[in-house]
Structure 1
């Protein structure tokens, strides 16, 4: 089977999914086009121009299937290269533009949301990484279409819903391998932490506002005020204008921090996870939570807010309540959960939930079924 993969905003998670897809199906012949994850507004609207007039020969080949991320301007690209409209197309939604928290600095435009709708209507099959992702797109699109002044065709949401399914972004099988490089600061435990051991807390995400740095700071302060004995590892990519809370954490919790910043390698990243006890998330924006799944694959216990995609993936024993704008109350409840988990861990009464079902090995049959169904029936 000849498959064209299009990733118009090839961020780290998109890139990992694209490369994992190709590696998981070596029996197919793959052609990949990807654009850097920068200049968001231009990239999502301009990718059709960039590709149609610089990669026309590649796009015009006789493919059996097109797999495109939701950032691809698919309707325009099909207009520029009409032969693409005859090829069955799967659109993968890593995220949607209806469920992003607002920082207050956005350039307000309806165009990214309309692009999601156009792509959903263009794709022969739509795949979402979580029910939360799918449901927020459907609800957001329904509300947006209801606001438009006139000439909105009926039944669009029903068409989108009928073509939709949920298949997560898989973890590489190597994510379950605990033979990471030796971490002298946080060596893997041979068993449960001892009663007098500090609990090891890991937080890993992009250092941006939507990952809840203000909530993280509040939780750490709550734990500190209670005299909780803990060590802290903060991982993730820092950007030029990262929230000031990270500097505050580095200053206030220097006596707790064993790591604060980007791990020097993938192996080092996994070694921090494998040495941790509890993985804490404070995200206000999470469509699946790959970093959480990776941490669980390495044996961490999740402590997660009961919002976004988390409640569909994890039971209540791993969730603390979402208190909206009441950050202090949420921090107290999160600290309660962490203390309960720490005690249970030390008593050998708590284990990380299995995420083996999220591996490429486990999910390959679902992707194979999607490919086969699309190529067997063709674009309808």
Structure 2
């Protein structure tokens, strides 16, 4: 007699590139489970994080699953309240990010709503999974700070109640094998061109390199808005001769440029796991990362520079050109290292 597969609902309220790769990868990797997936497209952030129970109100099956795996964009508390059959269903709440440590741009309205969604969702979940210790710690610290600002009738044990349910379980990456010779002068940028990645720091560092007559080339990848941001235009105007690629490319070409690049740079002011950096490092690129965020637990001090300091970044790149250190070992983030832990977590 064949054992019945465990039924898991995967709920993802914001299908951005990284969330999509995570969801699709889990389903492809763990065919020993019976998956049901509900997703919403990665746009209209504030509507998504508050509105997903309404968007899904007629799409939730009547049958009760064995387990719910929901991202922290899902308003899990409201969802369970609208569907009483889910009241006792075990729920894993997966934090790709947390709204307590998310930088707000000048164009965004400051609101406590996204934080409250995640707080109530965390209280409603059986276990809280985080892709990094930084993500976990900044979430718990943010919850504690929020509760201290509330006027009255706040239980004193909320943060400790959440803390005992936490576990760090990173998103697994597929290793990109290094192939052939690298371009020793090629610097890679493979991030979104948005405020939370602080690309102006990158642009300012390149200006310093140029003033010092450093010979370098650029691979500029990553998603960019329809309206080209000023910092990207600055780089295009000032470093046109150094740019060998400047567009979001196919997956195959993306891997090719990662394999070709010698140095990969992050200037992020928001990063909870840094998948694009891990992918580039897996292909043999040397990382230059801020001494901040999740990077402190991933990379030794020799690969970090003072956060937000373009001069320090330029100096780090020059150091790499002179010393050529080996890329760090990040094998603990590979599929083969994490697959068993993910399987065990989903089987609990």
Which runs of structure 2 are paired with 1:1-380 in the superposition (5 Å)? 1-52=6-57, 54-56=58-60, 58=61, 60-172=62-174, 175-178=175-178, 188-189=180-181, 199-263=185-249, 265-322=250-307, 324=308, 330-345=309-324, 350-373=325-348
Return the TM-score normalized by structure 1: 0.88
**Aligned equivalents of 2:133 and 2:313: distance in 1?**
25
Structure 1, unaligned runs of 5 or more: 180-187, 325-329, 374-380
**Aligned equivalents of 1:216 and 1:178: distance in 2?**
25
**Aligned equivalents of 1:370 and 1:151: distance in 2?**
35
* TM superposition outliers: structure 1 runs of 4+ over 2 Å: 175-179, 240-243
Alignment length (residue pairs): 343
The structural deviation recorded for 1:102 is: 2.4
CA deviations over 1:257-302 (Å, ceiling 9, x no partner): 1111211x10100100100000011111111100000001111000
The structural deviation recorded for 1:122 is: 0.9
Q: Report the CA distance shift for 1:26/1:282 in structure 2 as closer, same or farther (over 3 A).
A: same
**Aligned equivalents of 1:72 and 1:100: distance in 2?**
17
Return the TM-score normalized by structure 2: 0.95
Q: Report the CA distance shift for 1:249/1:133 in structure 2 as closer, same or farther (over 3 A).
A: same
Determine if contact 1:69/1:92 at 8 Å carries over to the other structure. yes
**Aligned equivalents of 1:201 and 1:177: distance in 2?**
18
**Aligned equivalents of 1:145 and 1:94: distance in 2?**
22
Partner of 1:183: none
Q: Report the CA distance shift for 1:165/1:144 in structure 2 as closer, same or farther (over 3 A).
A: same
SS of 1:22's equivalent?
Answer: helix
The structural deviation recorded for 1:242 is: 4.7
SS of 1:342's equivalent?
Answer: helix
CA deviations over 1:219-254 (Å, ceiling 9, x no partner): 100111111100111110111345311011111100
Determine if contact 2:177/2:259 at 8 Å carries over to the other structure. no
Q: Report the CA distance shift for 1:224/1:129 in structure 2 as closer, same or farther (over 3 A).
A: same
The structural deviation recorded for 1:372 is: 2.8
CA deviations over 1:306-357 (Å, ceiling 9, x no partner): 11110110001111112x5xxxxx2111111111111122xxxx21112222
**Aligned equivalents of 1:76 and 1:309: distance in 2?**
30
Structure 2, unaligned runs of 5 or more: 1-5
CA deviations over 1:13-40 (Å, ceiling 9, x no partner): 1111111111111111111000001111
Determine if contact 2:176/2:259 at 8 Å carries over to the other structure. no
SS of 2:36's equivalent?
Answer: strand
